[in-house]
Chains A and B, each alone.
Chain A
Amino acid sequence: MIGRLLRQLPLPTGAFLVLAAAYIALKLARPVIPGSVILLYMGFVLAGVVIHVTLTDERIRRFRDFFVPAAGEETGVRLQRYGLLLVLPLVVAWGTYDATRPSYAPPIEIFQRHPTAGDEVLSRIKVPDWAASPARWNADTVAKGKIVYAANCAVCHGDNLDGLGPAAEGFRYPIRPANFRDVGTIAQLTLPYVYWRLTVGGIQNQFNSAMPRWVAPADAPNATTLHTYDLTPDEAWQVIVYIYKATGFEPRLEAEVVDHSKH
Chain B
Amino acid sequence: MRRTCAVLGLIAVAAAAALLAPDAALAQGTPALRSYADPVGADSRLVVWIAAQLHLMFAAFVLAVPMFALYLECMGWRLAKREPATAARYDWLAHEMARLLPPAYSLTAITGAFLGFALFAAYPGFMGYMTNVFGPTFVVYPLFFVAETLCLYLWYYAWNRLQGDRKWLHVMLGVLLNLFGTIVMFIADAWATFMMTPAGVDQSGNLISLYAAVWNPGWMPLNIHRLVANITFGALLCGAYAAYRFLLAADDEERALYDWMGYTGNLIALFTMLFLPFAGYYFGFELFAFSATYGVTLMGGVLSWLFIIQAIVIASLFIGAAYYAWLGFLRIPGSEAQQRWVPAFNIILILGFMVWATPHTMAASIEESTGGFHPLLGALGLMAPKMIAVTLILLVLYVSYLLYRHAGRILTVPWAKTGSLVQWGLIALTGAAIIGLGIYGYFAPAHIRIQTSIWQILVLIGGIVVTFVLDQFLLAGARTQAAVRWGTMPRRGQYVLIALAFIIVWLMGLMGYARSAVRLNWHIFGLMEDTSAGAGLPSLGEAAIVITGITLIFFVLLAGSFAISGLSGGSKGAHGSERRAATAS
Contact = CB atoms under 8 A, between A and B. Distances in A.
B465 to A, nearest CB: 29
A56 B488 CA distance: 12
Given A44-B357, A54-B492, A172 B369 contact: yes
Contact of A44 (B353, B361, B366): B353
A250 B444 CA distance: 10
A211 interface: no
Contact of B377 (A37, A172, A189): A37
B371 A37 contact: no
A172 B490 contact: no
Contact of A34 (B289, B343, B360, B368): B368
A155 interface: no
A260 B445 contact: no
Contacts of A231: none
Interface string A183-208: 11001111001000000000000000
Interface in B192-216: 198-203, 208-209, 212-213, 216
Contacts of A176: 371-372
A163 B364 CA distance: 19
Interface string B510-536: 000000000011100111010000000
B1 interface: no
A202 B209 CA distance: 43
Contact of A258 (B291, B327, B346, B347): B291
Contacts of A3: 343
Interface string A15-33: 0000000000000010111
What are the nearest 9 A-B pairs in CB distance? A263-B199, A176-B371, A114-B300, A116-B301, A255-B289, A48-B350, A34-B364, A31-B370, A116-B302
B363 A31 contact: no
B297 A263 contact: no
Interface centre among A34, A106, A117, A250 (most CB of B within 10 A): A34
B320 to A, nearest CB: 9
13 contacts: A36-B359, A37-B377, A51-B319, A51-B326, A54-B492, A106-B365, A108-B365, A111-B361, A112-B300, A116-B297, A120-B529, A122-B292, A250-B445
A31 to B, nearest CB: 4
A111 B490 CA distance: 44
A95 interface: no
Contacts of B312: 40, 43
A253 B371 CA distance: 28
A173 B522 CA distance: 33
Contact of A182 (B366, B372, B527): B372
Given A108-B365, A116-B301, A119-B291, A249 B445 contact: yes
A22 to B, nearest CB: 10
Given A172-B371, A188-B446, A117 B202 contact: no
Given A37-B358, A44-B350, A260 B527 contact: yes
B239 interface: no
Interface string A111-144: 1111111111011000000000000000000000
Given A31-B370, A41-B354, A260-B201, A187 B446 contact: yes
A113 B347 CA distance: 31
B447 interface: yes
Interface residues of B, number: 84
Contact of A252 (B301, B447, B540): B447
A109 interface: yes
A52 B341 CA distance: 12
Nearest to A116: B301
B373 interface: yes
B371 A171 contact: yes
Nearest to A29: B376
A184 B442 CA distance: 10
Interface in A41-92: 41, 43-45, 47-48, 51-52, 54-57
A261 B319 contact: no
A109 B363 contact: yes
B217 interface: yes
A178 interface: yes
A263 B372 contact: no
A44 B297 contact: no
Contacts of B350: 44-45, 47-48
Contacts of B473: none
Interface in A154-176: 163, 168, 171-176
Interface of B: 198-203, 208-209, 212-213, 216-217, 288-293, 295-297, 299-305, 312, 315-316, 319, 323, 326-327, 330, 339, 342-343, 346-347, 349-350, 353-354, 357-378, 381-382, 442-443, 445-447, 490, 492, 520-522, 525-527, 529, 540
A108 B367 CA distance: 10
Contacts of B200: 260, 263
A66 B382 CA distance: 43
B449 to A, nearest CB: 8
A219 interface: no
A179 interface: yes
Contacts of A174: 362, 364, 369
A35 B346 CA distance: 24
Contact of B369 (A116, A175, A190, A249): A175
A151 interface: no
Contacts of B363: 34, 36, 108-111
A226 interface: no
A51 B208 CA distance: 57
A179 B316 CA distance: 33
Nearest to B449: A183
Nearest to A250: B445
A252 B291 CA distance: 11
B447 A253 contact: yes
Nearest to B316: A47
B522 A119 contact: yes
Contact of A33 (B290, B327, B377, B540): B377
Contact of A117 (B296, B357, B362, B527): B296
Contacts of A177: 372
B199 A37 contact: no
Given A40-B357, A113-B304, A177-B372, 12 more contacts: A44-B353, A51-B319, A51-B326, A120-B526, A120-B529, A171-B371, A173-B369, A174-B369, A183-B442, A184-B373, A193-B296, A263-B213
A256 B361 CA distance: 29
Contacts of B216: 263
Given A55-B327, A184-B360, A35 B492 contact: no
Contacts of B315: 44
Interface centre among A29, A45, A110, A122 (most CB of B within 10 A): A110
Contacts of A183: 382, 442-443
Contacts of A98: none
Contacts of B527: 260
A189 B447 CA distance: 11
A175 to B, nearest CB: 6
Contacts of B443: 183
A220 interface: no
B546 to A, nearest CB: 19
Contacts of A41: 354
